[in-house]
């Protein structure tokens, strides 16, 4: 796991010393070593976190004749198989690293075919001096980040925004990105908050000639995989395949030359991954979880139950919400752009603590999107039930919900019920879109934003939802979440919070064979009535205590409601004060004040929306007014 940065300067005015200075912005991603390659037109920089082939895996890495050079961030899990295939074809190797497999694979197969063979998480840049071309690629689902900027003076790229924002002559907010952030609480590829800087889409690669002319190609299409796949017609066959594929994926992701463990929350997904690790490993698995002194939020007993069953070497860190608050600023700041998934804060803490023991962790992320783990996937089920209620029952239910106050007991169910009632008559897409939108909906954004900053985002998401013309509505929802939520939110959160502490995170559920198999499963294999992740639970039921499968999903809770009425109240009022908001010229201050007043009085719970605004303003004040 590493950080990469580079410049292609067609004019030959490359400032190598400045480029090397900006490479140091990526030190957290690669604290163990650094290396650079440069000539009159190209600079490639690399910061290394040593995981595999510790002695000979230094970068940049060169081909035998020095005509090709690569800087690479990631792990290729099938590199040993590909290495053998290349050796059988006559290619010689001087290291045991996966980096050299990419380099030799390119020389044997070409860029597109080579990329189609890689199974892993990566972003890399490969410069071929023999044809004067630079190739830049990102993995299939977006586990590893890659930002780029094309200007009149050249082409710039990096693993993190902080390493290239200095190139911008003038920082401007991208209006589409702003609206996506306000709606979704994150900014998905290809957008960034800065006009001019883009994220490379997962499954794409860039080809640049010596004049920095950009050509973007796609080497992997999930849509094509889904459309060409044949649906399972046997539930038992699907279970058999899922078990085999996940065991193989976990085994591949346990390859490491440094200490390795797992994040164990006690939930279904991380417990399954840890259970498989325990089956494979000859030694007890190192596991890590966070417990909270506040019992209403504490789930440490769940993790302990699983740990005791699997006999892992468990580390449970008990913290209080002051600990979360103390690291909130650093956690939010590390994303370099607004990111309002508040679970990033406890993720930051568990990554920090785990990094004191291991360098690699496996996680249970992405199972929810593939196997129907979110409450939003039950929205059609409950919306249908609500719609069937006679009017004389609906009216008092709606009235009762409207007058029920928000407090620590009613907040979570009340918000869900209100959202369901508001959206029960929507189309399948709008029902899904409104439940995946955790910030401000389109109507509210028109009140929140000044006219010059308004942009409709619904159609952007709908174009993805409608891509699978032959699939059912539920599969379209899963597909949309893989394309949007995974890349923009879940994978970004895991990568940044782990990289902040030089910790590598690996995601077994995201092996492409598992992703492809999940979309071959009829959605009824995953959701049965109100039972989510049915096939996942039944496939691995023998590995874990029965109680694990009956736990109610919680996730990492952060008490935003209480913070904004107590510890963060003064800062919230300061960063969202009317005078500053009006001077800024993006938001309508009157609307924001109404949100604050309703929240403080307990009339409504606007904690999530206020967090979105709070995070944006903190980012804005640092990057535009500091």
The most distant pair of C-alpha atoms in the chain lies apart, rounded to whole Å, by 81
Q: Which of 2, 327, 366, 498 is catalytic?
A: 2
**498 an active-site residue?**
no
Is the Cβ–Cβ distance between 484 and 461 less than 8 Å? yes
Q: Which residues contact 137 (CB under 8 A, 6 or more apart)?
A: 111, 115, 122, 123, 124, 126, 200, 204, 205, 206, 219
Is the Cβ–Cβ distance between 371 and 535 less than 8 Å? yes
- Burial environment of residue 550 by CB neighbours within 10 A (0 to 12, 13 to 18, 19 or more): exposed
Is the Cβ–Cβ distance between 61 and 100 less than 8 Å? yes
Distance of CA 190 to the CA centre of its chain: 14
Q: What six digits make up the tokens of 249? A: 């994926």
Distance of CA 626 to the CA centre of its chain: 28
What are the strands of the beta sheet with 42-48, ordered from one edge? Answer: 33-38, 42-48, 2-8, 154-158, 147-151, 197-199
Taking the CA atoms of 473, 479, 482 and 484 in sequence, report the sign of the dihedral they define. Answer: negative
Q: What six digits make up the tokens of 464? A: 């993805």
Place of tokens 């290396």: 35
Place of tokens 């490479």: 23
Reduced to 3 states (helix: H, G, I; strand: E, B; else coil), residue 52 is coil
Give the Cα separation of 109 and 122 in Å (integer). 18
DSSP labels for 393-439? HHHHHHHHHHHPPP-TTTHHHHHHHHHHHHHTTS-HHHHHHHHH--S
Give the Cα separation of 227 and 320 in Å (integer). 48
Task: Give the count of beta carbons closer than 10 Å to the beta carbon of residue 542.
Answer: 8
Taking the CA atoms of 249, 251, 252 and 257 in sequence, report the sign of the dihedral they define. Answer: positive
Give the Cα separation of 468 and 481 in Å (integer). 13
Active-site positions read: 2
């Amino acid at each position: 796991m590493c950080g990469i940065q580079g410049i292609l300067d067609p004019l030959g005015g490359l400032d190598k010393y400045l480029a090397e200075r900006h490479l140091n912005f990526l030190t957290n991603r690669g604290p163990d070593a650094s290396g650079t390659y440069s000539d009159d037109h190209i600079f490639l920089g690399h910061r290394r976190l040593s995981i595999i082939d510790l002695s000979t895996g230094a970068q940049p890495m060169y081909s035998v004749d020095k005509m090709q050079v690569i800087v690479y961030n990631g792990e290729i899990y099938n590199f040993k198989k590909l290495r053998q295939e290349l050796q059988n074809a006559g290619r010689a190797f001087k290291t045991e690293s996966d980096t050299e497999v990419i380099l030799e694979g390119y020389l044997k197969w070409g860029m597109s075919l080579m990329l189609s063979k890689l199974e892993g998480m990566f972003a890399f840049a490969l410069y071929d001096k023999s044809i004067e071309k630079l190739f830049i690629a990102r993995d299939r689902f977006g586990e590893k980040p890659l930002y780029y900027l094309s200007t009149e003076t050249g082409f710039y790229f990096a693993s993190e925004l902080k390493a290239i924002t200095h190139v911008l002559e003038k920082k401007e907010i991208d209006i589409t990105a702003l609206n996506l952030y306000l709606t979704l609480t994150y900014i998905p590829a290809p957008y960034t908050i800065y006009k001019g800087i883009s994220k490379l889409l997962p499954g794409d690669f860039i080809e640049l000639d010596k004049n920095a002319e950009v050509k973007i190609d796609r080497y992997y299409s999930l849509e094509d995989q889904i459309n060409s796949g044949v649906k399972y017609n046997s539930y038992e066959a699907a279970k058999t395949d899922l078990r085999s594929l996940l065991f193989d994926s976990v085994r591949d992701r346990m390859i490491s030359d440094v200490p390795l463990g797992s994040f164990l929350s006690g939930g279904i997904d991380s417990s399954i991954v840890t259970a498989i690790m325990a089956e494979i490993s000859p030694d007890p698995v190192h596991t890590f979880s966070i417990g909270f002194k506040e019992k209403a939020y504490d789930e440490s007993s769940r993790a302990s139950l699983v740990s005791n069953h699997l006999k892992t070497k468990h580390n449970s860190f008990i913290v209080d919400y002051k600990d979360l608050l103390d690291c909130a600023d650093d956690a939010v700041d590390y994303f370099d752009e607004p990111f309002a998934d508040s679970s990033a804060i406890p993720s930051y803490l568990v990554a920090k603590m785990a990094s004191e023991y291991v360098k690699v962790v496996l996680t249970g992320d992405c199972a929810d999107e593939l196997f129907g783990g979110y409450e939003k996937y039950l929205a059609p089920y409950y919306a249908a039930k609500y719609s069937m209620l006679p009017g004389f029952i609906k009216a008092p239910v709606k009235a009762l919900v409207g007058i029920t106050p928000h407090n620590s007991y009613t907040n979570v169910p009340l918000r869900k019920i209100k959202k369901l009632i508001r959206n029960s008559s929507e189309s399948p897409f709008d029902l899904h879109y409104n439940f995946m939108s955790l910030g401000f909906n389109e109507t509210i954004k028109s009140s929140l934003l000044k006219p010059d900053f308004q942009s409709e985002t619904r159609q952007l998401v709908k174009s993805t939802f409608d891509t699978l013309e032959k699939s059912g509505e539920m599969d379209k929802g899963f597909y949309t979440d893989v394309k949007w939520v995974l890349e923009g939110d879940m994978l970004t959160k895991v990568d940044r919070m782990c990289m902040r502490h030089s910790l590598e995170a690996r995601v077994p559920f995201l092996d492409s064979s598992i992703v492809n198999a999940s979309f071959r499963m009829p959605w009824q294999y995953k959701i049965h009535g109100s039972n989510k992740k049915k096939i996942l639970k039944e496939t691995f039921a023998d590995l874990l205590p029965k109680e694990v499968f009956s736990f109610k999903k919680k996730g990492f809770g952060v008490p935003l409601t209480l913070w904004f009425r107590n510890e963060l109240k003064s800062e919230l009022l300061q960063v969202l004060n009317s005078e500053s908001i009006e001077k800024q010229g993006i938001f309508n201050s009157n609307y924001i004040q109404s949100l604050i007043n309703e929240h403080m009085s307990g009339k409504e719970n606007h904690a999530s929306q206020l967090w979105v605004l709070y995070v944006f303003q903190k980012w804005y004040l640092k990057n535009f007014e500091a």
